[in-house]
Amino acid sequence: IRDEENGYNKNLVCIPKHYEEDLERVFIPHGLILDRTERLARDIMQDMGSHHIVALCVLKGGYKFFADLLDHIKVLNQNGNKSVPVTVDFVRIKSYC
């Protein structure tokens, strides 16, 4: 996203009621995020070939994206020409200031 990007008017997308007062604009619509997540899953499957995939989730923020990405990989594994083994693990990271 460029610095001069204005985003989308918040009235053009569905926003949970409890966020309405806190938001002015939406920079990336939910549908675009879902589309890019699916594309990323396709790219991963293509790039990995038949190699084992080790998926590592950073907890406390990445779990929803991680779950969506793995769902797309699972669908590709079930419906594609090849099936790649996937191992899932989680890590919790603490940052220090």
The percent of residues in the chain predicted with pLDDT above 90, rounded, is: 30
pLDDT, position 23 = 86
**Strand 86-91 versus strand 8-9 pairing type:** unpaired
This prediction has a pTM of 0.70
What confidence category does residue 97 fall into, taking pLDDT thresholds of 50, 70 and 90? low
The closest of 29, 86, 25, 21 to 53, measured between CA atoms, is: 86
Q: How do residues 32-76 score in pLDDT, each as one tens digit? A: 888 999 999 999 998 988 889 999 998 877 888 999 999 999 999
Per domain, the residue ranges of the chain are 30-92
Question: Rounded to a whole number, what is the distance in angstroms from the first to the last CA of the chain?
Answer: 27
Is 3.40.50.2020 the CATH classification of the domain at 30-92?
Answer: yes
What confidence category does residue 96 fall into, taking pLDDT thresholds of 50, 70 and 90? low
Residue 8 Cα distances to 12, 32, 41, 77, angstroms: 7, 12, 26, 35
